[in-house]
Amino acid sequence: MATADRRRWSRRYLPDSLLGRIVVVMALGVVSAQLVGTLLWARQLRESARTEALSAGKHIALNAAGSIRFFRDLPPQFRPILIEQLRTMGGTRFFVNVNKAQVPISPVTGNALVDAVVDVVREDLVHNLSATQAPEVAFAWPDSLQVSDDGRMVRDLPESWVEATLLLRPRPAPVLVIQAEFEPGRWLYLAAPMPDPYFLENANPLTLDRVAMQLVTLLTVLVLSVLLVRGLIRPLNKIASAANAFGSDTAPESVPETGTAELRRTARAFNEMQARIQGYLVDRERLFLGISHGLKTPIMRLKLRTELLDDDTLRAEFHEDLDDLDVMVKAALQSVKDTDIHENLTPVRLDTLLARLAQRPIHPDASIECTAEAVSVLGKPLALERAFSNLLDNAVLYGERVQVRLSLQGSRALVEVRDFGPGIAQASMSAAFEPHVRLSHGQQQNRTGTGLGLGIARNIFQAHGGEIRLHNHAEGGLVVTVLLAALPQDT
């Protein structure tokens, strides 16, 4: 049960070709390995980025606490002078400003790493300043960053004031803003990027360049897999083509023994098998020809000797037995020839062929109704005519009234030949195709038959890539169904 379920699953979800299945398996393997590796690496990257960002946050908090204490202890008259010197000459990592009220900030939200750094900086500032009111700490983007209580934005400031402290170009980096009330009505405004300005991007494992690298790896593996598999299956396709062409009118061609050691061994075995089968076929034809020609002379000699018999009844019985023997020999030879008719493949109009056969039944009182759509197949005209003629002859002999229907079902031609005879027992269906097998009602209605008609027809249809089926009709009689690959309608 489990094996059957696996087979149904593979047929449903996996491509039918070897190339497709290997590509799918390789793609799944590479993607799975990349996912597992990316997950492990992302976890390690996030932990490392978190540790570094928290450490940098502690360092910034320590510097900010020193700056706040310094401004708190600095005489008020010197504070504007110091701020002007810091803006023009530098000397600190912070952009510094003093406001009369807290400046509203549009913080960066929805990021766990940002929240963790903000919490660490706030906790360290409270600890280092021994303040009862925690300073305001937040990250903001420079394009929406307000720096003073009069509404001035960072983009409104002279470039010389911020070029040494804030990273605005070419890629803006998030800014850590600290606001602390160092005396009533006086707020110190400190803004600075992190030591790693792009710590948020560096902590993200799914950046565009990393995803592109993963895709390039996947595509490289898939392309190499396709090239490798196509090189491996090319000899197999040649073997399949040679197997399909084997037995046609053209001389069999050997398969090149190239590729890997396994493929060379397979090609060598196929060539040897093809040579043996070809030898068997030649020997079989010679054998039947020899038997046929060899038996004609003794049969004719026996017929002449029966003429010397005085008893007319005995002479007639001998003639009947010899005639039966002659028919059997000819039928055996015809069976070999009919299954190997040497013709070129050409488009054949089945509707025209069946209509012509229906107009010349072997029994004068037979009735053959033919309903056919315009359908063409690629085949050997004489071989197909022989096969359908056998089916119609059997149907007329055992049913007299026959219905023939030809229709197109998808990409296949469907031919149904129904007779109105006794039909065939279900247990005898498979035996009906065996050579020289004649069922009881067939022996009663046709003593001259040889039991080769259905077998010859099946061999011809199978040689054309088709199939033949038998079943009894619900209202009586036998239905023979033939399926052949149809040509497109415009052919």
CATH of domain 261-335: 1.10.287
| pLDDT, position 484 | 92
pLDDT for 339 beyond 60: no
| pLDDT, position 443 | 46
- CATH class of residue range 343-485: alpha beta
pLDDT tens column, 410-447: 889 999 999 888 888 777 777 677 765 555 554 445 54
Give the residue extent of every domain in the chain. 41-202, 261-335, 343-485
pLDDT for 329 beyond 50: yes
The predicted model gives 373-402 an average pLDDT of 86
**Nearest of 471, 464, 353 to residue 417 by alpha carbon:** 471
Binned at pLDDT 50, 70 and 90, residue 53 comes out as: confident
Mean pLDDT of the chain: 79
The predicted model gives 90-108 an average pLDDT of 82
The predicted model gives 346-359 an average pLDDT of 88
Percent of the residues in the chain that have a pLDDT greater than 90, as a whole number: 5
23-32, 69-78, 403-412, 448-457, range with greatest mean pLDDT: 403-412
Percent of the residues in the chain that have a pLDDT greater than 70, as a whole number: 80
Higher pLDDT, 490 or 193: 193
